[in-house]
A = this chain, B = another copy of it.
């Protein structure tokens, strides 16, 4: 519909698994900019697991999306109108405009990006929030040393893929955990991990043991549940566990009880929950390094592109189920 702005609203708070009926797709009038603001036409919307938490009304690190509100999130787009001297029409920017075709911003947390260095959508992934998440979590918290063994869950995902490649750059051994043979093959053959174990296999623990003969020094956690318990049986003394996500638990109505807590004591493990927005001081360095590495082909990535904003709810549910393969984005144009 010309001159209208399609939006995805939160219709209801999910109990357990998210359903498409928890969203409402509406056409609204184009937003109007005030002095100091810019109008952005979004090209790609980012879908990320953390968004599941925003759908709840629970205490969390960021405010929940209100019922009837536009689903929050980051998008990359083009400035089509500017009443802010810092931006001009034609600029490519990332901004937290949410699940909609057009967004207005006063410039807060808007990042100008170079669409010639890497494709615009990459600024939502490998050279964006997920990439910086991998960088901060692995390098600042995980602190892998050459020769150590780094294991990362959800290894074919937007964060996990970068974690393993950064680990290799540091001289560590990189082991992925992923769901299914295709993802495992990709992680090893395309991203250059040393090995990848399919957590769906009944002998998952034995396979994990086989590829971590010297134990695990860094475990980058994105998943939680039984996978965490399995890894805890393999951690070495003084292991580090950057806790980035627990996607296996986000839709669980009854949380999994982690049994091998004693391993954290016996092995003097440091487990640290982190959220990349607490580390804004590290973003410029991380983004510069990641942008260069991606442009030079030293860090590879894969995107799972869904066409059309109206398909964002379905794509998001697929992401939570691990049906995506690589960074999940929605192409809006």
A271 touches B264 (CB 8 A): yes
**Residue from B246, B259, B268, B270 in contact with A270 in the complex, judged by beta carbons closer than 8 Å:** B270
In the complex, what's the smallest C-beta–C-beta distance from A213 to chain B, in angstroms? 15
The reply to whether the CB of A17 lies closer than 8 angstroms to some CB of chain B is no
> For residue A274, which residue of chain B has the nearest CB?
B268
Identify which of A59, A246, A272, A273 gathers the most chain B CB atoms within 10 Å of its CB.
Answer: A273
A273 in contact with B278 given A246-B261, A261-B224 (CB within 8 Å) = no
**Residue from B244, B259, B273 in contact with A269 in the complex, judged by beta carbons closer than 8 Å:** B273
- Spot the interface stretch: A78-86, A186-194, A249-257, A282-290: A249-257
In the complex, what's the smallest C-beta–C-beta distance from A140 to chain B, in angstroms? 12
In the complex, what's the smallest C-beta–C-beta distance from A237 to chain B, in angstroms? 7
In the complex, what's the smallest C-beta–C-beta distance from A190 to chain B, in angstroms? 29
In the complex, what's the smallest C-beta–C-beta distance from A104 to chain B, in angstroms? 30
Identify which of A244, A268, A278 gathers the most chain B CB atoms within 10 Å of its CB.
Answer: A268
Identify which of A256, A261, A271 gathers the most chain B CB atoms within 10 Å of its CB.
Answer: A261
The reply to whether the CB of A266 lies closer than 8 angstroms to some CB of chain B is yes
Among A211-263, those with CB < 8 Å from B are 224, 228, 237, 243-246, 249, 255-262
Among A145-167, those with CB < 8 Å from B are none
Q: Report B-chain residues with C-beta under 8 Å of the C-beta of A60.
A: 266
Q: Report B-chain residues with C-beta under 8 Å of the C-beta of A255.
A: 259-262
> For residue A244, which residue of chain B has the nearest CB?
B265
Q: What number of A residues sit within 8 Å (CB to CB) of B?
A: 33
Number of copies: 2
The reply to whether the CB of A53 lies closer than 8 angstroms to some CB of chain B is yes
A268 touches B61 (CB 8 A): yes
In the complex, what's the smallest C-beta–C-beta distance from A234 to chain B, in angstroms? 11
A262 in contact with B246 given A256-B257, A257-B256, A270-B270 (CB within 8 Å) = yes
The reply to whether the CB of A267 lies closer than 8 angstroms to some CB of chain B is yes
Identify which of A243, A245, A260, A269 gathers the most chain B CB atoms within 10 Å of its CB.
Answer: A243
A261 touches B278 (CB 8 A): no
The reply to whether the CB of A275 lies closer than 8 angstroms to some CB of chain B is yes
A237 in contact with B270 given A261-B224, A261-B258 (CB within 8 Å) = no
Complex Cα–Cα for A266 and B274 (A):
8
In the complex, what's the smallest C-beta–C-beta distance from A260 to chain B, in angstroms? 7
Mind listing 29 A-B residue pairs with CB under 8 Å? A53-B266, A60-B266, A61-B267, A61-B268, A224-B261, A224-B262, A228-B261, A244-B265, A245-B265, A246-B261, A246-B262, A249-B262, A255-B261, A256-B259, A257-B257, A257-B258, A258-B261, A265-B273, A265-B275, A266-B273, A267-B273, A268-B272, A268-B273, A268-B275, A269-B272, A269-B273, A270-B272, A270-B273, A271-B272
